[in-house]
Amino acid sequence: MAKAGWDVTVLEKHDMPGGRARKLVAKGFTFDMGPSWYWMPDVFERYFNCFGKKVSDYYDITRLDPSYRVYWHEGFTNIPADYNELKKTFDQIEKGSGEKLDSFLHEAAYKYDVGINKLVHKPGQSFTEFLSWDLAKGVFKLDVFTSMKKHISKFFKNSKLQQLMEFPVLFLGALPQDTPALYSLMNYADIKLGTWYPKKGMYEVVDGMYRLATELGVKFIFNSNVTSVNIENNKATAVFVNESVKYDADVVIGSADYHHVESNLLPENCRTYSDAYWEKRVMAPSCLLYYIGLNKRLEGLTHHCLFFDTDFNVHGNEIYKTKTWPKDPLFYVSVSSITDPTVAPEGCENLVLLVPVASGLEADTEELRDKYLDKILTRFEQKTGQSVKNSIIYKKSYSVSNFTEDYNSFKGNAYGLANTLMQTAIFRPSCRSIKIKNLFYTGQLTVPGPGVPPSLISGEVVAGEVLKDFGYA
């Protein structure tokens, strides 16, 4: 928008840019509070290229090797960055699965190309957007009517391999049996495009985008909690901050939680979606997070560690079906200081632990959080052979109630709406208000979906829609 000559003002609730991708600095430790996986580097490069810039103009990235490690009930598996080494790893787990991985990723590459380069850049306003011959002839190759679980089981019979291929959708969107196999494009992103790390942490991505925006003349006003949007004659005319400060507007773009903007900032007669509609949505998970500083270094770990040493299906059902606090959850640990010692004091280690949990859970108490921390740290110590409980010098937890309070997140969700078939493309909440002609939406609850790269794309899509309707300044 700023590039097109518009006068752009960003009203941010917090004291820094980033939203859910904020950072936490405490006692010499720097923690990424939200996203910690840098996937789809091409999407980030495309973003900066839109402005005649490169990623490297703002931050440096390095590919992790191994990409991550998975701990099982017995032993662990490293996921090497080198594809031929990964095929050997697959063959060791299930004979012949290396060749099957070739076939699987050949299909996934097509889905990635069509999905990322064509589908996700559609505003999702009508079926007609998807009626090109290229998309029509490839609809069956996209596997939109086959589930991830069924699709993966065609190639791999071993439960470990199935879990490896299912985890990107389980952690980020929905049960594999409810997710279209189109999303095997995530496996292509994982395996072929790799897992990367921005030097100094994921917040460097936020800072890079912030710097680029300010270079283009965008004004950021922090500590500005938007309390209402003024509507006159079906047009948004102003935004109110802290109930009294008024900002006049020709166009309003809501990048806060979609439900919050609709249900709390607009008059009831101006809302596109009812409370009943939102209650029927399938939400992606929330998270139980811990930011941990240790007074010692750990040995032999990888940057990213997944703990799949309990029942994968049971935890998935607790997130999406029964919607209960998990009994024995899978969890994830990021030890970014292994790659980047600058994020922790000398001789110390920086840990972020994440347990995916159902959105909307109650009884999010400190007592409950302490119980889960003890549980997962016990398993961490058992699986890695390293003690950590007695070496903690900093600890902060973050979960469902914090997402609600800090981000006005519907049901305390962390990742927006689940990637089910009936919540894909035109079936997601629209990126433009049906009732207010100059009100638009970006983020994880509208098109194209959850995660950092899709959220970036959502901003690009909406900017295009605004310029199409309102032109260049």
Instruction: Specify whether 272 is located in the same domain as 288.
Output: no
- Mean pLDDT is lowest, of 108-112, 277-281, 417-421, for 417-421
Instruction: Specify whether 402 is located in the same domain as 288.
Output: yes
Q: Which has the higher per-residue pLDDT, 364 or 172?
A: 364
Q: What is the pLDDT of residue 138?
A: 67
Q: Is 209 helix (H, G, I), strand (E, B) or coil?
A: helix
DSSP string, 110-179: HHHHHHHHTGGGS--S-GGGG-SHHHHHTTTTTTTTSBHHHHHHHH--SHHHHHHHHHHHHHHTS-GGGS
Instruction: Specify whether 351 is located in the same domain as 304.
Output: yes
Inside any domain, residue 69? no
Inside any domain, residue 401? yes
CA dist., res. 307 & res. 353, Å (int): 11
Instruction: Specify whether 316 is located in the same domain as 381.
Output: yes
Mean pLDDT of the region 191-217: 98
Instruction: Specify whether 286 is located in the same domain as 365.
Output: yes
Say if residues 151 and 391 touch (Cβ distance below 8 Å). no
CA dist., res. 313 & res. 175, Å (int): 9
- Domain hosting 263: range is 9-61+199-280+414-470
Domain CATH number, residue 344: 3.30.519
pLDDT of 196 higher than 90: yes
Instruction: Specify whether 357 is located in the same domain as 380.
Output: yes
Inside any domain, residue 109? yes
Inside any domain, residue 113? yes
Instruction: Specify whether 398 is located in the same domain as 294.
Output: yes
Number of structural domains (the chain) is 3
Instruction: Specify whether 100 is located in the same domain as 186.
Output: yes
CA dist., res. 34 & res. 407, Å (int): 12
Domain CATH number, residue 155: 1.10.405
Inside any domain, residue 67? no
CA distances for 120 relative to 98, 106, 422, angstroms? 30, 20, 15
CA distances for 70 relative to 21, 78, 115, 349, angstroms? 25, 6, 28, 20
pLDDT band at 472 (very low <50, low <70, confident <90, very high): confident
Share of the chain above pLDDT 70, in %: 98
CB-based burial, 402-438: b 16+ in 10 Å, e otherwise: bbbebbbbbbbbbbbbbbbbebbbeebbbbbbeebeb
CA dist., res. 15 & res. 204, Å (int): 16
Inside any domain, residue 460? yes
- CB-count burial class (<10 Å; 0-12, 13-18, 19+) for 142: buried
CA dist., res. 149 & res. 166, Å (int): 7
* Of 163, 193, 223, the domain-final residue: 193
Q: What is the pLDDT of residue 135?
A: 61
pLDDT of 199 higher than 80: yes
Give residue-wise pLDDT tens across range 55-95: 999 999 999 999 999 999 999 999 999 999 999 999 999 99
CA dist., res. 363 & res. 372, Å (int): 13
CA dist., res. 400 & res. 433, Å (int): 28
| 268, two tokens | 């009831």
Give residue-wise pLDDT tens across range 349-393: 999 999 999 999 999 999 999 999 999 999 999 999 999 999 999
Angle, helices 41-49 vs 203-215, to 10°: value is 10
Q: What is the pLDDT of residue 129?
A: 80
Inside any domain, residue 74? no
Q: What is the pLDDT of residue 154?
A: 98
Domain CATH number, residue 444: 3.50.50.60
Inside any domain, residue 316? yes
Strand 439-441 relative to strand 252-254, pairing: parallel
- CB-count burial class (<10 Å; 0-12, 13-18, 19+) for 239: buried
Say if residues 177 and 149 touch (Cβ distance below 8 Å). yes
Instruction: Specify whether 114 is located in the same domain as 174.
Output: yes
Q: What is the pLDDT of residue 28?
A: 98
Give residue-wise pLDDT tens across range 324-345: 999 999 999 999 999 999 999 9
Say if residues 441 and 455 touch (Cβ distance below 8 Å). no
* Of 407, 436, 458, the domain-final residue: 407
Q: What is the pLDDT of residue 140?
A: 75
Instruction: Specify whether 396 is located in the same domain as 324.
Output: yes
The candidate with the shortest Cα–Cα distance to 40, out of 195, 179, 163, is 195
Q: What is the pLDDT of residue 413?
A: 96
Residue 417 is classified by DSSP as B
Say if residues 104 and 187 touch (Cβ distance below 8 Å). yes
Strand 226-232 relative to strand 331-334, pairing: unpaired
Give residue-wise pLDDT tens across range 118-144: 889 999 998 788 766 566 666 678 998
CA dist., res. 251 & res. 255, Å (int): 13
DSSP string, 331-351: EEEE-GGGT-GGGS-TT-EEE
Instruction: Specify whether 273 is located in the same domain as 210.
Output: yes
* Of 384, 407, 430, the domain-final residue: 407
Q: What is the pLDDT of residue 139?
A: 67
Instruction: Specify whether 45 is located in the same domain as 128.
Output: no
